[in-house]
Chains A and B, each alone.
Chain A
Amino acid sequence: MTRRIRSYAEVADVGGSDIGAQVAAQAERLTRRLAGIAHVVAVASGKGGVGKSFVTANLAAALVQRGHRVGVVDADVNGPTTALMLGAARAPLAIADDGVRPAATAAGCTLMSMDLLLASAEAPVRWREPADAGFVWQSTLETGALREFIADTAWGELDYLLVDLPPGTDRITRLLTLVPQPAALLLVTTPSAAATAVVARSITHARHAGVHDVALVSNMDGFACATCGTANHLFGDSSGAALAERMQLPLWGTIPFDAAVGADTDRGRPVILAAPHTAAARAIAAVARVLDDHVRTRVARTTAATAP
C-alpha cells in the first residue's frame, strides 16, 4: 500500500526560505518603480549592428527636446554603448534613499548602464561564478541585472523610459517578463536582406508574445552624396519600407546614413543636438513626434476602454 505524503501545495508552511515571498518582493519593487513611469518603450531588433543604441540615444534626446522627462536603460549588459553615445561613459553613480541615482547626460535624460559599473573602459563583463557552468545561470543572471537596472534605479517621475535591448530575438521575451506590455516596441532594421530577415523573425516573435504596439524604424536607409547631393542606396534596392509593407507594420521613420553622424555619435553628441538640421536628425525628430502621437492615442484608447 502506497503511503500518503502531503504535496508541496498542501503544505502551507514555507519552512524558512520563503522563496515565493522573496520573488514577490522583487516583483513588488519593480511594480512600484514602474508606477512612476508613464511609458516604457523598448528599442530592439534581433540583429546586431543596425543602430539600436544610436536610435535609442537620439530618440531620448529628441523626446527631451519635446519637453519630456526621459530615462534610458542600456539593457545590453555585455556590450554597453549607450553611455558613450550619450556622453556619460564612466559617469559616477550614487546610492540614494530610494535606489541608485542614474547618471545625468548632456542630452538631458538620465541613464543606467553596465558601463557605469565596470572598473574601466576596457573591462569586460565577467561574473564571479565559474564560467564553465555559465549556460545554467547566465541568462537568469542577465535578466536579474536588467530587473535591477529598472527597479533599483531612482528614476523619479518619468514620461518615457527607453530600454535599449541587445541583439537576439529572445531578448524581447526577457524584457516582457519584466514589462509585459510596453507602450511601444520599436524594431530597428537596415534595408539589408540579412537585417530584414532577422527583424522579420523578431516581428513574428513579438506578435506571438502578444505585444500590441510594434513599429519599425529603418536606419542607414539611403544616403545623399556630400558632393553632388545624389541619392544613393547602401544596400541595393531593398528598403525598410518594403519590410514594413510585407509584414504589415507601421514604419515610423527612415533614417539616412550620414558619416558625420557616426563621428558625432562616437564623441557622445547625439545628432539631434550636434547637427539638428541634417536629414538624419530630422528623421529622428519625426520618430519622436510619431511616438508622442502614438502614446496619446494609446492613453485615450485605454481611458475609453476603462471608463464606467
Chain B
Amino acid sequence: MKFLCLACDTVMSFAERQLPGDGTMTAVFTCAACGREVAMLTNPMETQLVSSLGIQVGGRSVPEQPMELVRSTLATGGDAFAESAPVRVTWSDDANERLARVPTFVRGMVKRIYSDYARERGIATITPDIMDRARAELGLEGM
C-alpha cells in the first residue's frame, strides 16, 4: 500500500500510527514536498488482517522478536518463557497505569518489549522513567 500526493506526484511518507483501543487503527502519511497529510483509517477487520500477517504499518522500529505474533496475540497464553528470565521484573503502579493505556491489541507485545529491555539491563522494577528511557533507546513510538 502506497499513498501518492497527486498535486506533487510524490509518494507520501509514514508519519504516525495511533491505536485508539477499539480495534481500529489510524496511520498518518505526509507529503515531503508540500506538507499535505492524509490519515488512513482501518476498521477492526482490516487492522486484524494486517496484524495476523505479522506486519506493522509504518515499518518496524524494533526487530521482530521470536514468536512475536503468537506471543502478542494469544489471549490464553501463560508465561511459558518465565524460566529463561534471569531477573524477575516488576512494574511500579504508575508504570502499570501507563501500560493500561496501551490498546489491549498490542499490550502483551509492548509489555514484553519493556520487560526484555529491563531484564537485559538488570533492572528489577519498571517505572515511567524506565519506559521513557526504553522508548528513546529502542526508538519506540506511541508505546
Residues of A at the B interface (CB closer than 8 Å) are 5-6, 8, 11, 13-19, 22-23, 25-26, 29, 92-95, 99-101, 114, 116-120, 123-130, 133, 136-138, 140-141, 144-145, 147-149, 152
Contacts and interface: CB of A to CB of B under 8 A. Distances in A.
Nearest to B116: A95
Contacts of B108: 128
B52 A141 contact: yes
B77 interface: yes
A15 B40 CA distance: 13
Contacts, number: 149
A141 B56 contact: no
Contacts of A126: 74-76
Given A5-B6, A117-B70, A133-B44, A127 B75 contact: yes
B55 interface: yes
B53 interface: yes
28 contacts: A5-B4, A6-B4, A11-B2, A15-B1, A15-B29, A16-B14, A17-B14, A17-B58, A22-B56, A22-B59, A26-B54, A26-B64, A29-B64, A92-B81, A117-B67, A117-B71, A123-B78, A125-B76, A126-B76, A127-B74, A128-B73, A129-B44, A129-B105, A130-B48, A144-B53, A145-B69, A145-B70, A148-B66
A23 B55 contact: yes
Nearest to B32: A13
A19 B56 CA distance: 8
Given A15-B11, A127-B74, A140 B52 contact: yes
Interface size class of B (residues with CB under 8 A): 35 or more
Contacts of A114: 70
A19 B53 CA distance: 10
B13 A129 contact: no
Most buried by A among B15, B45, B60, B83: B45
Given A15-B29, A125-B76, A136 B81 contact: no
A99 B66 contact: yes
Contacts of A116: 80
Contacts of A16: 13-15, 29, 58-59
Nearest to B107: A128
B26 interface: no
Nearest to A19: B55
A127 B75 CA distance: 5
Contacts of A92: 80-84
Given A5-B4, A16-B59, A11 B52 contact: no
B127 interface: no
Ranked nearest first, the 10 interchain pairs of A and B with the lowest CB-CB distance are A16-B14, A94-B84, A119-B78, A141-B52, A13-B11, A137-B52, A152-B66, A140-B52, A123-B76, A137-B48
A13 B12 CA distance: 9
A33 to B, nearest CB: 11
Contact of A137 (B49, B74, B81): B49
B69 to A, nearest CB: 5
Contacts of B84: 92-95, 101
A297 to B, nearest CB: 35
